[in-house]
Amino acid sequence: MRFFLLAFVLLFIAISAHANRQRWTHKGQTFYGQLGESNVVPGDVCDPDVLSLSGYYNIQGTRDANYFYWFFESRDSPKDDPLIIWLTGGPGCSSQLALMVENGPCTPTEDGLSTTVNPYSWNSNANIMWIDQPAGVGYSYGDLPDYVSDEEGVSEDLYWFLQAFFQEHPEYSENAFFVFGESYGGHYVPATSYRIWQGNNNKEGSHINLSGVGIGNGMTTPTIQYEYYPQMANNNTYGVKAVSDEQYQKMVDRLPTCLNLAEKCQKSTEFCSSAYTYCNMAETTPYYNSGLNPYDVRKECGDNPLCYDFSSTETFLNLDSTRQALGVNNDEVKTWESCNNAVNAMFIDDWMKDFNSPYLSSLLDDGIPVLAYSGDADFICNWMGNKAWTLDLDWSGHDEFNAAGDHPWLSYGMARTAKDFTFLQVYEAGHMVPLDQPQAALEMLNTFTSGKGF
């Protein structure tokens, strides 16, 4: 009898422990995802006035990936304000980098030993979390076979992470939910938003209140955007001639081959690696050879790998006190790094894929607002190419959007908007708009999430 009772108790404990696990099948493999216990982050680490949580989402199956997130409640009204998830691109770069140097509640001091409050943080009027993904990026970890290498894998993992997060934190489940990202987020954001939209329509999990999508200086539609590299290198917004007229002409002459390979990549992945190699050699390498910052044509690149000095962020995120406060798994994550080149390399067949239609077009046709914004000093995901794909996008409001024309947006830039679609050209900003124009970026965010027009 005692043995029976003990077995029953053990079974009950096992069932309870797995009650909040998410289960899904992807490419013939079964995965189980579970959100670990949330870690309450002390206020003196970053934002002293709000609740801050961090933790890991573990994915078990044929792999053992663990995604790290850092969440902050709104400084205004957490109960009513929207919830945002932020996805930094790369691919392979940590979203905690954006938190620290762009749009988060704090920035590191020069020595990296503490932080100061950012008055233009995106949690001023929103709950927001920054997630390091895929596995192997930032504080996230997993063995090499755990690393996903395409948007299907990215969006699937993030969809089930959100299911687990809202299950564990139902207090945010009714809030308007927005997906934002930057750079290679031009791939991540459409794919993840579309997956959420599909999940809602198919009633796969709990309904997620998807209310809008934002892409900053994104690589969204390579078949269109690569066409604008020659112009941005030689005849850009700031009159910077990064390449000679002769080099410019060579870039133009090589475009047909590049675009042909890119179009073939959309139909068959076997062409994607060739498209990536040829197009970047022909259209971006001439600019890189100039020594200018590919993220800001107004600046020299210098000696730092990413053309910016992020040493204070690296110092702060590798402090024992910071890692302990965030609950970082020190056994698995020896050192926080801004970007993981191994992850980056694994996306070579994903890079030249387009993520405009049916991803964004389906959302817009269903009344979900989309914002594409671009700092106009950026070369690598420049505003010319981004504006071009927004004009080309095939959706029900295409003609109205194209006929709308551009108009000044306050003193910050130019806007084009129709129905639920907006494109912003942001003045005096490079690849990272919140870094260069923090006040404009916060105004943009609040305008978009509140449903006000530009």
| Active-site residue set | 183, 378, 431
Looking only at the bridges linking them, the beta strands covering 52-60 and 39-40 are antiparallel
Torsion of CA 178, 227, 353, 364, to 10 degrees: 30
List the one residue out of 406, 439, 442 whose CA is nearest residue 425: 406
Q: Is the dihedral of CA 215, 221, 226, 228 positive or negative?
A: negative
**Separation CA 197–CA 207 (nearest Å):** 9
Looking only at the bridges linking them, the beta strands covering 177-182 and 127-132 are unpaired
Strand extents, DSSP E, 39-195: 39-40, 52-60, 64-72, 83-87, 106-108, 115-117, 127-132, 177-182
> Cis (ω within 30 of 0) for the bond into 294?
no
**Residue carrying the six token digits 């959302």:** 363
List the one residue out of 254, 240, 57 whose CA is nearest residue 157: 57
- Taking CA atoms, 139 is separated from 59, 102, 207, 246, in Å, by 15, 18, 28, 45
How many C-beta neighbours within 10 Å does residue 50 have? 19
List the one residue out of 216, 178, 226, 168 whose CA is nearest residue 430: 216
